[in-house]
Amino acid sequence: MGMTVPLEPNSSADSLGPRVLPVCAHFEECGGCQFQNLSIADYQGWKEKSVREIIEKGGVCPSLWHKPVFVPEKTRRRVTFSAIKQGGIVTTGFHRHRSHDIVSIAHCHLILPSLQTVLEKMPVAFAPVLHEKVEVDVFLQDVDGKIDCVITGLPSTGARQTENLAKLAEGLGLARISLVTREGAQPETYIDIHPVQKMSGKLSVLIPPAAFLQPSGEGEAALVAAVNKGLSSLKGSKNKIADLFSGCGTFAGPLLERGFVLAVEEDGKMVEVLQKAARANGRLTVQQRDLFKEPVGPRELTGYHAVLLDPPRAGAREQALKLAKSAVPIVIYVSCNPQSFARDAKILTEGGYHFESLQIVDQFIWSSHVEIVGVFCRKT
């Protein structure tokens, strides 16, 4: 979970491969895609090579490298656009590279068709809502066909503005609109037309505004498949599994098919929605806990058959130290940062775990971001 951390290529961009014509007309000015001017083969080869180098440089190496999964374009289900109204005209798009200027974007090759439809309508639909020369960020997320919208930077609203937001939701086909009116504030929902609900396995979860989901459904499916592959030695449906940094249940839901799941998460909103979902599933237990300050210890993990952890980009050093002293047979580590993953993987291997395998899942086409899934088994 959390934002991804870019890989750092050791060579200049020109050495990564011959240039090709970018598919996007905005490539030269938009601050989004970094590597559209590489062939797909060169781009994918560079990404796999970079991950391998980072892992091996960290002093660890899996026994098996699975074939990488590369998620194609037009699959991104979450995106944040910038928007501003000047002289009554609304510009929507992304910031120019290393600039505060907004590049007007009419078409994005990354996002789902449902979000592309919203993007095309935004300049007209947002005109009554925006204040002159006040820039806002517009977060959109397609959650199982329902589009959630969070607008950051829009001044506080009155009755007329609420009416404008209702028309905005209707015109763009949005399920919900929430506002963040001041820095550091939580999103406050103003328009709520349809429940924003996500199925994770057989677990149904009401998703809070702007909640973190994996960037694409295809990427999420690949990550879940890699986790299930790593747990294939667990037989039956009565296993005990801990899901650490569980978020809104991306992995907890599918894990319920293998047994009883303890989902541990710090974010109060996430914990609240998971607890509501748990009432309909007696195999799920939810615990609110700051795993950086209070990692789950070996004694608490007695009797558990597996632990899955999906920390933010900083990794989970303190939790890895506790796991290294535990007797848990299988540890699955999902990471968005190969550097912190390699550090924590070394802690696990030095604690007696065998680094069985690693799966690369690239759901960030044309960028330097990546997800990986490592499988560790306690040596017997």
> What is the set of active-site residues?
336
DSSP-derived letter for residue 11 is: S
The helix/strand/coil state of 227 is helix
Residues with Cβ < 8 Å from 243, sequence gap 6 or more?
Answer: 251, 252, 255, 261, 262, 263, 264, 308, 309, 310
Distance of alpha carbon 246 from alpha carbon 251, whole angstroms: 7
DSSP-derived letter for residue 90 is: E
How many Cβ atoms from other residues are within 10 Å of residue 114's Cβ? 14
Q: What is the DSSP string of 93-153?
A: EEEBTTSSPEEE-S--SSB-HHHHHHHHHHHHHTTTTSPBT--EEEEEEEETTEEEEEEES
The helix/strand/coil state of 81 is strand
Q: Is 190 exposed, middle or buried (0-12, 13-18, 19+ CB in 10 A)?
A: middle
CA dist 368 to 147, 261, 371, Å? Answer: 27, 33, 11
Residues with Cβ < 8 Å from 1, sequence gap 6 or more?
Answer: 212, 245, 247, 250, 310, 311, 312, 336
Nearest-10 crossing angle of helices 338-350, 317-324: 20
Name the residue with tokens 């650490």: 244
How many Cβ atoms from other residues are within 10 Å of residue 126's Cβ? 24
